């Protein structure tokens, strides 16, 4: 995988190690380094379940760059997609499934990992079915409709003896890894507060599944706000205890079933507060960390590329990478080497516990404990 023409493997690792201080997150560094060629003896086959925009625009192209895994199969309910994907990516007919015959994937040795890229309401079903079929699973975020479903998914994968990972691509992104390092080492003193927001002005299909609560579980909070929740957690290295949230809506017809804009306040141990915002009515994306000796953060903070960061020491000088390729390569190595992924199902569960509490706070008008 080519990271950037001006960054060799050695320089990239050295940049991560010494760029703005010694990178002590050894698992992250090892993971990034391991995504280079010759990291695995055998490429594992991945089947994408659901061929919507994220699969077609991000995951399938990323799988043309991966070193430890490859696009082995697809699952779709649309025959025309099956035909076009087969031709484009040279996928044999025996590795193409629909939602009716999905369970027969158990008999296919070409497929080691199933990546669930479906509407949120279908995540639990296909994660559990994939695990029962003997496949390791990557499930796209948000993990499920609620924390209860997350627990069922985790339990099913454990019972089947299969690994479960959630599609948190930013855990493999260098600027984000630096924010994690700063949370651990605290070179700028104690973190006092965080401001973060993520959103875009929704101009898509008014009949999209994302606007139907039964399919999506919610609106901008589930889709975009999960990044701000993640950001608040990895920027502090802590888990929040309480949340207070409010909702505002300017287009009640378009967003009649789901939230448009939500403001929330997370209370962390030590008096740290994170003020977050998710929106389908504003193009925004930042993570600002306020500390005793100076502020730092990322802006843009959550995109597929173009992430930029700055600290009191200056601009973060890290390369842009293919986040999805690194994410999938890392999980393939985890499967091959039988080691735990750092973005396991429990990571998705923690976010859903917070999201559940945010929705409870909006409904009750009260400060809610995160459980």
Measured CA to CA, the distance from residue 176 to residue 114 in angstroms comes to: 26
Which positions are annotated as active-site residues?
141, 227
DSSP one-letter code for 244: E
Q: Mind listing the pLDDT tens digit for each residue in 85-133?
A: 999 999 999 999 999 999 999 999 999 999 999 999 999 999 999 999 9
CB 280 within 8 A of CB 262: no
Which residues have C-beta within 8 Å of that of residue 78, sequence separation ≥ 6? 51
CA 209 – CA 313 distance, rounded (Å) = 44
Spell out a b/e string for 84-109, using b for 16 or more CB atoms within 10 Å of the CB, else e: ebeeebebeeebbbebeebeebeebe
Count of Cβ atoms closer than 10 Å to residue 186 Cβ: 14
Q: Name the E strands within the chain.
A: 44-49, 69-75, 96-97, 113-116, 136-139, 164-166, 191-201, 242-248, 261-267, 273-279, 281-291, 294-298, 309-311, 314-315, 368-369
Output the CA–CA distances (angstroms, integers) from residue 359 to 123, 195, 247, 353, 367, in the order listed. 20, 20, 9, 10, 11
Q: How far is CA 105 from CA 73, 97, 108, 117, 349, in A?
A: 10, 8, 5, 16, 27
CA dihedral 157, 158, 163, 169 (to 10 degrees): 70
Q: Do domains 35-169 and 190-291+345-369 have the same CATH topology?
A: no
**140 secondary structure, DSSP code:** P
Distant-in-sequence, close-in-space partners of 4: CB < 8 Å, separation ≥ 6:
12, 319, 320, 321
Provide the residue ranges of all domains of the chain, joining segments of one domain with +: 35-169, 190-291+345-369
Q: Which residues of the chain have pLDDT under 70?
A: 1-40
Contact 298, 175 (CB under 8 A): yes
Question: φ, ψ for residue 280 (rounded to 5)?
Answer: -105, 20
Both tokens assigned to 22: 């010694």
Residue 294: the pLDDT is 98
What's the token pair of residue 16? 């991560």
CATH code reported for the domain at 190-291+345-369: 3.30.360.10
Per DSSP, the residues of 279-343 read ESEEEEEEEEEEETTEEEEESS-SSSS---EEETTEE-------HHHHHHHHHHHHHHHT---TT
pLDDT score recorded for residue 24: 31
Residue 61's H or E segment, with its range, is helix 60-62
**String of DSSP letters for 67-91:** SSEEEEEEE-S-HHHHHHHHHHHT-
Q: Topology of domain 35-169, per CATH?
A: Rossmann fold (3.40.50)
pLDDT at position 41, please? 75
**Rg of the chain on CA atoms, in Å:** 20
pLDDT on residue 39 = 54
The tokens describing 24, both together, are 């002590």
């Amino acid at each position: 995988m080519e990271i950037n023409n001006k960054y060799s493997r050695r320089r990239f690792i050295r940049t991560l190690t010494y760029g703005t201080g010694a990178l002590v997150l050894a698992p992250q560094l090892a993971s990034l380094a391991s995504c280079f060629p010759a990291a695995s003896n055998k490429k594992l086959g991945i089947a994408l379940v659901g061929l919507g925009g994220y699969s077609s625009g991000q995951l399938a192209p990323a799988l043309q760059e991966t070193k430890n895994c490859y696009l082995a199969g697809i699952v779709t309910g649309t025959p025309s997609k099956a035909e076009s994907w087969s031709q484009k990516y040279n996928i044999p007919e025996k590795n193409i499934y629909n939602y009716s015959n999905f369970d027969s994937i158990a008999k296919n040795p070409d497929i080691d990992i199933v990546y669930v890229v479906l509407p949120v309401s279908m995540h639990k079903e296909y994660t559990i079915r994939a695990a029962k079929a003997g496949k390791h699973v990557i499930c796209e975020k948000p993990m499920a409709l609620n924390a209860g479903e997350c627990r069922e998914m985790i339990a099913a994968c454990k019972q089947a003896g299969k690994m479960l990972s959630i599609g948190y691509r930013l855990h493999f992104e260098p600027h984000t890894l630096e924010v994690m390092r700063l949370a651990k080492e605290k070179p700028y003193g104690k973190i006092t507060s965080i401001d973060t927001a993520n959103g875009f002005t929704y101009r898509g299909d008014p009949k999209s599944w994302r606007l139907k609560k039964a399919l999506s579980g919610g609106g901008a909070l589930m889709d975009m706000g999960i990044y701000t929740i993640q950001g608040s957690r990895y920027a502090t290295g802590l888990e929040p205890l309480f949340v207070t949230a409010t909702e505002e809506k300017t287009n009640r017809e378009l967003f009649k079933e789901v939230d448009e804009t939500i403001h929330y306040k997370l209370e962390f141990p030590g008096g740290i507060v994170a003020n977050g915002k998710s929106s389908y009515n504003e193009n925004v994306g930042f993570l600002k960390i306020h500390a005793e000796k100076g502020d730092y953060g990322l802006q843009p903070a959550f995109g597929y590329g173009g992430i930029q960061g700055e600290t009191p020491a200056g601009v973060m000088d890290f390369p842009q990478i293919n986040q999805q390729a690194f994410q999938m390569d890392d999980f393939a190595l985890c499967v091959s080497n039988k080691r735990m992924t750092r973005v396991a199902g429990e990571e998705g569960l923690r976010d859903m516990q917070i999201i559940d509490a945010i929705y409870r706070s909006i409904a009750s008008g009260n400060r809610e404990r995160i459980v």
